[in-house]
Chains A and B, each alone.
Chain A
Amino acid sequence: MSKTTAVSKVDLTKIMPYGDTMNDGQVQMSFTLPVPDGDEAWEAARQLARKMGLDEPNVVYHRDLGIGYTYMIVYGKCTHSVDYTKIHVTKVESNVMDRMECIKYMEDHFNRPVVVVGASTGTDAHTVGIDAIMNMKGFHGHFGLERYTGMTAINMGSQVPNEELIAKAIELKADAILVSQTVTQKDVHITNLTNMVELCEAEGIRDKILLLCGGPRISHELAQELGFDAGFGPETYADHVASYILQELVERKRV
Chain B
Amino acid sequence: MTSKLNLDKKVIDSARNHARSIAESMQSFIDEHTTVSTERTVLRLLGVDGVDDVERPLPNVLVDEIKDAGGLPRGVAYWIGNAIRKTGKSPQEIAEAVARGELDVTKLDQGSVEDARKAIEPYVDESLAKIRKQTETRNNYLETIGEGRRPYLYVIVATGNIYEDVNQAEAAARQGADIIAVIRTTGQSLLDYVPYGATTEGFGGTYATQENFRIMRERLDKVGEEVGRYIRLCNYSSGLCMPEIAAMGALERLDVMLNDALYGILFRDINMQRTIVDQFMSRVIIGYSGIIFNSGEDNYLTTDDAIEAAHTVLASQLMNEQFAVLANIPEENMGLGHAFEMDPATEDGFLYELAQAQMAREVFPKASLKYMPPTKFMTGNIFRGHLQDALFNLVAVWTGQSLQLLGMLTEAIHTPHLHDRMLAIENAKYIFNNCRHIGDEVEYKKGGIIQTRAQKVLKDANELLAQIEKDGLFATIEAGKFAAVKRPFNGGKGLDGVCTKDDMYFNPFIEKMLGGVK
Contacts and interface: CB of A to CB of B under 8 A. Distances in A.
Interface of A: 30-32, 63, 65-67, 69, 71, 122-125, 127-128, 131, 157-159, 183-186, 188, 216
Contacts of B267: 125
B186 A125 contact: yes
8 contacts: A32-B419, A63-B422, A66-B174, A124-B186, A158-B269, A159-B187, A159-B268, A188-B203
A32 B414 CA distance: 16
A183 B170 contact: no
B51 interface: no
Contacts of A65: 171, 174-175, 418-419, 422
Nearest to A73: B419
Given A125-B267, A186-B203, A66 B419 contact: no
B171 A69 contact: yes
A124 B204 CA distance: 10
Given A159-B268, A188-B204, 13 more contacts: A66-B172, A66-B422, A67-B174, A69-B171, A123-B203, A124-B186, A125-B267, A128-B302, A128-B303, A183-B186, A184-B414, A185-B415, A188-B203
A81 to B, nearest CB: 25
Given A32-B417, A125-B267, A185-B415, A71 B204 contact: no
Contacts of A123: 185-187, 190, 203
B412 interface: yes
B418 A185 contact: no
A21 B204 CA distance: 41
B268 to A, nearest CB: 6
Question: Nearest 7 A-B pairs (CB), nearest first?
Answer: A66-B174, A123-B187, A123-B186, A71-B419, A66-B171, A188-B203, A67-B171
Contacts of B418: 32, 65, 69, 71
Contacts of B204: 183, 185, 188
Give the residue among A65, A69, A127, A216 with the most B Cβ atoms within 10 A.
Answer: A65
B335 interface: no
A64 to B, nearest CB: 9
Interface of B: 158, 160, 167, 170-175, 185-187, 190, 203-204, 267-269, 302-303, 376, 412, 414-415, 417-419, 422
Contacts of B167: 67
Nearest to B419: A71
A109 B323 CA distance: 57
Nearest to A34: B418
B106 to A, nearest CB: 34
A66 B303 CA distance: 37
Nearest to A30: B419
A158 B269 CA distance: 9
A74 to B, nearest CB: 13
A139 to B, nearest CB: 12
Contacts of A183: 186, 203-204
Nearest to B412: A216
Contacts, number: 65
B203 A159 contact: no
Give the residue among A31, A66, A131, A159 with the most B Cβ atoms within 10 A.
Answer: A66
Contacts of A67: 167, 170-171, 174
Contacts of B268: 125, 159
Contacts of B171: 65-67, 69
B269 A185 contact: no
A123 B267 CA distance: 12
A172 B269 CA distance: 24
B291 to A, nearest CB: 25
A185 B170 contact: no
A71 B415 CA distance: 17
Contacts of A69: 171, 418
Nearest to B177: A66
Contact of B175 (A66, A159, A186, A188): A66
A121 to B, nearest CB: 12
Contacts of B170: 66-67
B443 to A, nearest CB: 38
Nearest to A234: B380
A216 B410 CA distance: 14
Contacts of A186: 160, 203
Nearest to B422: A65
Contacts of B172: 66
Contacts of A185: 158, 160, 203-204, 414-415
A124 B419 CA distance: 26
A1 to B, nearest CB: 38
Contact of B422 (A71, A124, A157, A159): A71
Contacts of A184: 414
Contact of B186 (A63, A157, A188): A188
Nearest to B223: A66
Contacts of B414: 184-185
Contacts of B190: 123, 159
A131 B175 CA distance: 39
A121 B298 CA distance: 24
Contacts of A158: 269
B412 A159 contact: no
Contacts of A30: 419
B378 to A, nearest CB: 11
Nearest to A70: B419
Nearest to B267: A125
Nearest to A159: B190
A157 B422 CA distance: 36
Contacts of A125: 186, 267-268
Contacts of A122: 186
A123 B172 CA distance: 28
A62 B509 CA distance: 53
Nearest to B303: A128
Given A32-B418, A128-B302, A216-B412, A157 B203 contact: no
A71 B190 CA distance: 38
Contacts of A127: 303
A125 B264 CA distance: 11
A188 to B, nearest CB: 4
Nearest to A31: B419
A72 to B, nearest CB: 9
A128 B419 CA distance: 29
A32 to B, nearest CB: 5
Contacts of A128: 302-303, 376
Nearest to B417: A32
Contacts of B412: 216
Nearest to A124: B186
B413 to A, nearest CB: 8
